[in-house]
Amino acid sequence: MHDEAQQSPARQLEVVGERLQEELKRFSNIEALGRAVDLAEAENQLRDLKDVRTKFLGKKSELANLKKSIGRVAPEDRASFGQLVQQTEATITASIDEAEQSLKKRVESARTERDSIDVTIPGRRPRPGHLHPITLMRQRIDDIFVSLGYIVEDDREIETDFYNFDALNIPEGHPARDPQDTFYTTEGFALRSQTSTVQIHAMQRRGAPVRMIAPGRVFRRDTPDPTHNPMFFQVEGLCVDRGITMAHLKGTLTEFVHRLFGPDTKTRFRPSYFPFTEPSAEVDYSCFNCGGQGCRICKHSGWIELGGSGMVHPNVLRAANVDPEEFTGFAFGLGIDRTCARIYELDDIRLLFENDVRFLEQFR
């Protein structure tokens, strides 16, 4: 400051010009350094440059002061000094304009770069999903029964003792009621241990006659191993009408395995016991792989277990307000995941529940 006071006005103008050049250097720095143009940075600089313009050309600038001092310059120097001031102002304006132009260009190209697409980057391949093998199996089973005139019922997975046991003629003290075998909620509800519960709901809702299947999850307190999982899938079947006999049961399940595994498939009914059917039978079908000769898949017996079945117990009909004097019915329960595991030759049923895409992808 105090140096400048002693400098001639012409020298002062020169200094203003020099200082401006110094200031403008930082606006060309990014380019000089060859850095990638950053949009935010270029925009900031454009804003800074506005301040520089005010500082050098504004009302309070040194140049403005020097302009005002023209009147105080000795008359013989006045004209040339006036010219010098004008020249300096023109140079300063031109330099700032130039810097502004190149900054604007940089902002522009940074914007283009940000918005542009690199067409050489490999595209993202869409990975379409597919249904789970258990769902596929369930759909095949549904289709067969729907074509035989059955409706598909869906019902709750948490049940009262009435639906899970009492109405199914499972007496107090039956081992299935044991908390060791069935999951109970803290409020005393049971996670259904079989889809047979839906027989009762369906008959209560629809009365008789009724023909329905009910695919769904069931829960049992089993320790997981290659053939057990505490949650698995069953399909329940129920047919109640006037004059229904064991022959209808055998005919229906035989037709079912014919459609699922082929018309040469045979069935076998073995006497069994279930509280909710009388008489009861286990159903087997001849192995879809060896046709009954015996192979690895059927463990060399020629037969594969399909599930349980029987004639609906009169007590079950009564519990659902169906008159056993007028109506009779058959019922069956099949394991979906078990059948799935057989068909796909899985040696561990748990694979179906681990949701490992590498495994599931094989069964589109």
Residues that bind ligand DAH (CB under 6 A): 194, 196, 236, 274, 277, 307-310, 331-333
Nearer to ligand DAH, 216 or 308 (CB): 308
Structure tokens at 13: 């103008």
Q: How far is the CB of 117 from ligand DAH (least distance, A)?
A: 58
Q: How far is the CB of 118 from ligand DAH (least distance, A)?
A: 59
Residues constituting the chain: 364
Q: In terms of Cα–Cα distance, which of 177, 165, 330 is closest to 245? A: 330
Q: How far is the CB of 292 from ligand DAH (least distance, A)?
A: 24
C-alpha distances out from residue 195 to 36, 144, 173, 213, Å: 66, 19, 20, 10
Q: In terms of Cα–Cα distance, which of 139, 176, 133, 190 is closest to 338? A: 133
What spatial distance separates the first Cα and last Cα of the chain, rounded to whole Å?
84
Angle between helix 133-147 and helix 246-261 axes, rounded to 10 deg:
130
Nearer to ligand DAH, 64 or 176 (CB): 176
Structure tokens at 26: 């930082």
Nearer to ligand DAH, 106 or 338 (CB): 338
Interstrand relation of 267-274 and 158-159 (parallel, antiparallel or unpaired):
unpaired
Q: In terms of Cα–Cα distance, which of 46, 51, 53, 50 is closest to 27? A: 46
Q: How far is the CB of 300 from ligand DAH (least distance, A)?
A: 25
Q: How far is the CB of 179 from ligand DAH (least distance, A)?
A: 18
Nearer to ligand DAH, 14 or 166 (CB): 166
Task: Determine contact, residues 217/156, Cβ cutoff 8 Å.
Answer: no
Instruction: State how far the Cα of 61 lies from the Cα of 54, in Å rounded to an integer.
Output: 7
Q: How far is the CB of 180 from ligand DAH (least distance, A)?
A: 16
Nearer to ligand DAH, 52 or 168 (CB): 168
Nearer to ligand DAH, 240 or 298 (CB): 240
